Amino acid sequence: MDISVENVTQIWKSRNGSKVTALDQFSHQFKSGQFSCILGPSGCGKSTLAQIVGGIEKATTGTVSIGAADNPAVTSIGGPSVMVWQSQNLFPWRTVIDNVAYGLEMAGVSRAERYERARVLIASVGLKGFESHFPSQLSGGMRQRVALARALILDRPILLMDEPFGALDAQTKIVMQEELLRIFDETHKTVIFVTHSIDEAILLGDEVIVMTARPGRIKEVLPVNLPRPRSVEMIGTPEFGALFDHAFHLIRDEVTKAMAEQNAAAGAKL
Ligand SMILES: Nc1ncnc2c1ncn2[C@@H]1O[C@H](COP(=O)(O)OP(=O)(O)OP(=O)(O)O)[C@@H](O)[C@H]1O
Ligand SMILES: [Mg+2]
């Protein structure tokens, strides 16, 4: 499904009445079946954008339209997508299988059918045998896999991922990235993936959208033409290195700007 974001501006109001412009006239066409990564300094509005596209928040101004490429009729925002967050928000009192099957349970799917579908997904994220475990009995990486399976079971055409692997150790992260690449090659969902990692953005994405420091605008869109299927070994290739250098220079300028702005704001308060 295509996602068309046009001139989206988001102004948050804090409790004390001050306003923060998180996104400023953000426009981008996310193409159906494409993996788009969003890279930008802390506070530039990446999570805000994911929440607006997912229909969790309404933009102050601007529009988000979602529709199939061959049928651009606008569907309801939020309906076609599912979100995976950095913190997994699993239900601690539910077992792995009941966490994964939760969405189907809410949709009224019978126990036998939802368990059958949940078992297939649990196996596909490498957790066969852990169906009856509780989240507290799993490692952080395993919990993140459960969160991924819980999102995938809904089989929505759009997957929104907000730093889903940000809290994982380096080895688990690699395994999860390869897992996600495999799932993407099989399902070709439209993916919007927020990350702080330049490597991760290039490894996973068909394009990397580099954002400016707040207020978040698009600084540059880098197409990533590395062939698929991708693997972590590609990080060592010259093509990957050239993309990394380019993204690194863009992002370094913006992070420096963001830090200077934060220091100035802190100085003003003293
Ligand atoms: N619900 C909210 N209410 C008020 N302000 C908010 C809200 N959500 C975000 N903000 C503000 O909007 C700006 C952008 O926040 P956002 O969480 O989108 O940034 P981000 O790019 O995801 O940052 P990070 O990389 O640190 O996760 C920040 O200044 C933040 O304080
Ligand atoms: Mg964020």
Please give the helix or strand (H or E) that residue 216 lies within, else none.
none
151 assigned to some structural domain: yes
Q: What confidence tens digit (pLDDT) does each residue in 136-156 have?
A: 999 888 898 899 899 989 888
121 assigned to some structural domain: yes
C-alpha–C-alpha distance, residues 105 and 187, integer Å: 23
214 assigned to some structural domain: no
150 assigned to some structural domain: yes
C-alpha–C-alpha distance, residues 127 and 152, integer Å: 14
- Would you say 55 and 131 are in contact if contact means Cβ atoms under 8 Å apart? no
Residue located nearest, by CA, to atom 27 of ligand 1? 42
70 assigned to some structural domain: no
C-alpha–C-alpha distance, residues 29 and 87, integer Å: 28
150: domain range? 87-155
Which of the four pLDDT bands, split at 50, 70 and 90, describes residue 78? low
Q: Across the strands, what pairs with 96?
A: none
pLDDT at 183 over 80: yes
Provide the domain count of the chain: 1
pLDDT at 269: 64
247 assigned to some structural domain: no
Relative to the alpha carbon of 216, which ligand is closest? 1
Indicate the top mutation candidate among 26, 46, 162 to test ligand 1's pocket, ranked by most ligand atoms within 8 A of CB: 46
| d(CA 128, ligand 2 centre) in Å | 31
C-alpha–C-alpha distance, residues 226 and 264, integer Å: 40
32 assigned to some structural domain: no
| d(CA 266, ligand 2 centre) in Å | 21
Q: Identity (one letter) of the amino acid at 219?
A: K
241 assigned to some structural domain: no
| d(CA 73, ligand 1 centre) in Å | 31
pLDDT at 205 over 90: yes
pLDDT at 261: 79
Q: What is the value of pTM for the model shown?
A: 0.91
Indicate the top mutation candidate among 8, 9, 12 to test ligand 1's pocket, ranked by most ligand atoms within 8 A of CB: 12
